[in-house]
Amino acid sequence: MDGELPEPLVIAGRSFTSRLIVGTGKYDSYAQNAAAAEAAGAEIVTVAVRRVNLTDKSQPMLVDYLSPERFTFLPNTAGCYTGEDAVRTLRLAREAGGWNLVKLEVLSDPKTLYPDMIETLRALDMLIADGFEVMVYCSDDPVMARRAEEAGAAAIMPLGAPIGSGLGIQNPVNIRLIIEQAKVPVLIDAGVGTASDAAIAMELGCDAVLLNTAIAEAGDPIRMARAMKHAVIAGREAYLAGRMQKRRYADPSSPLAGLI
């Protein structure tokens, strides 16, 4: 049917129809957050365990607005700068909600929020030994992505650009190299600023897109959530359809050939 994407996204044995994962914790309210997740058609939401209220019943709780029955909660380690911090955070999350599928991010510094891949790989080993299924936020270095996959990552999540930058995918060559070598799903995580950025990620062959700021900080977050839903479907369909060949107009024997 129109707009339906036939192949499910499968991560760690779980199937999803939607290929757009959205965040929590940057919205004006949990109500707005829930409305955005609905408008995005998301089935998975990431949860910054350190920032979102998961346990204090005297305060508004995320689960009151986004039902864990309806959305797969994906706890993440935003704000963790060491492997130990990340492992501790995810153990707490598992105790709180029983979540075993998690997103690991071990950051290097608060300015760029880039992952420290050496700490990340160390934490990944610990988490896998502890029975977690781990989706891994990583740099766009294909070598590090391959190491993460070899260590047992359930999905590879390279950044397209710095978290919260909205700059779009900076290095499509690297993203494409990661996709071509990966046997687990590859998701763009970080850097998407507007709808076309999400479409481009999917056209490159990514299996899904994770974004947060692009929706939360849009002028109208609900409308942007809807835009992103369509953008991900558009990019996925275009990828599967197979785009037309580009035609070049400069004389092929010119010094410009291959340039434009």
- Return binding residues: 164, 190-191, 212-213
Given its phi and psi angles, is residue 219 left (phi above 0), alpha (psi -120 to 50 degrees) or beta? alpha
CA pair distance 209, 226, nearest whole angstrom: 14
Burial grade of 88 (CB within 10 A; 0-12, 13-18, 19 or more): middle
Identify which of residues 53 and 170 has a Cβ nearer to a second copy in the complex. Answer: 170
Contact flags string 28-67 toward a second copy, x per CB under 8 A: -----------x-x--------------------------
Q: Which of 154, 100, 90, 144 is nearest to 121 (CA)?
A: 144
Q: What distances in angstroms separate CA 67 from CA 125, 189, 255, one per listed residue?
A: 31, 23, 59
Residue 117 sits in the site that holds a second copy (CB under 8 A): yes
End-to-end CA distance of the chain: 38
Asked if 119 and 107 touch (Cβ cutoff 8 Å), the reply is: no
Catalytic residue at 103? yes
Question: Which residues participate in the annotated binding site for 1-deoxy-D-xylulose 5-phosphate?
Answer: 164, 190-191, 212-213
Q: Which 86-115 residues touch a second copy, going by CB under 8 A?
A: 108-109, 111-112, 114-115
CB of 221 to a second copy, least distance (A): 8
Q: Which 140-169 residues touch a second copy, going by CB under 8 A?
A: 141-144, 146-147, 161-162, 164-167
Residue 118 sits in the site that holds a second copy (CB under 8 A): yes
CB of 253 to a second copy, least distance (A): 10
Task: Report how many helices (DSSP H) and strands (DSSP E) the chain contains, helices first.
Answer: 9, 10
Question: Which of 187, 203, 206, 210 lies at the binding interface for a second copy (CB under 8 A)?
Answer: 203
Residue 200 sits in the site that holds a second copy (CB under 8 A): yes
> Active-site positions?
103
